[in-house]
Amino acid sequence: MERLDAFMARANAAYYATHDPFADFTTAPEISQVFGELLGLWAAMQWQAMGAPPQVILAEAGPGRGTLMADALRAVRRMVPDFAAALTVHLVENSPRLRAVQAAKLPDAIWHDTLATLPPGPLLLLANEFLDALPIRQFVRRGAGWAERYVADGAFVEQPAAPLARTAREGEVVEVDAAATDLVAAVAQRIAAEGGAALFIDYGPATSAPGDSLQALRGGTQADPLADPGSADLTAHVDFATLAHAARAAGATVHGPLPQGIFLARLGLFQRTGALARTQQPAVAARLLDTAKRLAEPDQMGRLFKVLAVCHPGLPIPAGFFE
Ligand code: SAH
């Protein structure tokens, strides 16, 4: 018997070590080069707002194929060369397999297993679909108290749990993303002390609510999350309200969560995509415009995906978070 978060950590470590996750799902940077370009330019704007320090860490947590960072660097080299000259790229990735894929695109990067080993100093951190892969715990309302979900032989087993300050009806599941909350709090504390800003993009509701959001994707289709650990990508919705609260408590300023579609549109997703499309044949141009819609339309990725910024309290409201 294994607590759900231990099971999820083990299953995902095995999955990312042995699979190409991008055979099972498609992420925003794999849909359009404009996604990474806009995030790179967002980081450049934060660097300027910080007073353009001569040295800055540009880090990404869970960089996947390295596409987002490669697109970001191309854009900042062209548009903000002083930022490109000041930054050092750090990647937080614990899969040796994906590190090799990233190294082919980003040969000058420095890799870390966790954020804890990043060197000190001002930090600009990007993380897309990273928090959703971190292990969660699930509690079930039972009578006047709570039970916690463990996994044994591919099924849930409930064990008595300590009181939990959450509201739910009998039998409802409440999720606690302790790993994501601790990580965001640690980033917030560091940014409050040493300067910088972080951008977390993931899917989940803006307000905490009961519900079982654990899901598994195997070969592009939904699968049983408890069967055959390591064969599927396990994710859960990110609890943005709890993350925002933890970041504020750690001394940072928080903006959002804001729907991804609004954020990207304000940063110029459609203008940049339109500029790319004008250089292409009509069929290719139409496909490009479709990718922008896929990222931004409310019924596609635009609403379920949210953007949360965690900033040093001295920074102005970052781009994308005002009209
Ligand atoms: N950001 C990428 C990839 C998302 S997949 C994109 O948008 O395409 C999740 C990524 O997080 C993978 O690179 C995976 O190996 C990494 N990852 C998952 N859990 C991790 C952990 N605990 N520590 C470090 N990296 C992790």
Distance CA 126, CA 221 (A): 28
Decide: 251 and 189 in contact? Cβ < 8 Å.
yes
180 C-beta closer than 6 A to ligand 1: no
Look at ligand 1, atom 22, and give the residue with the nearest C-alpha: 134
148 CA to middle of ligand 1, Å? 26
pLDDT band at 21 (very low <50, low <70, confident <90, very high): confident
13 CA to middle of ligand 1, Å? 10
Mean pLDDT computed over 153-173? 96
Testing ligand 1's pocket by substitution, the residue of 130, 132, 134, 301 carrying the most ligand atoms inside 8 A of its CB is: 130
Q: Any alpha helices (H) in the chain, and if so which ranges?
A: 4-18, 28-31, 33-49, 67-79, 81-86, 96-105, 178-194, 240-249, 260-267, 269-278, 282-296
Element (H, E) at 159: strand 155-161
Look at ligand 1, atom 2, and give the residue with the nearest C-alpha: 64
Mean pLDDT computed over 154-178? 96
pLDDT band at 123 (very low <50, low <70, confident <90, very high): very high
192 CA to middle of ligand 1, Å? 25
Q: So what's the pLDDT on residue 19?
A: 87
Dig out the tokens for 139 from the structure: 């509690």
Please identify, by atom number, the ligand 1 atom nearest to the C-alpha of residue 128. 1
Query: What is the per-residue pLDDT across 217-246, written as a single tens digit (0 to 9) for each?
Result: 998 899 999 999 999 999 999 999 999 999
95 C-beta closer than 6 A to ligand 1: yes
Look at ligand 1, atom 23, and give the residue with the nearest C-alpha: 94
Distance CA 182, CA 89 (A): 23
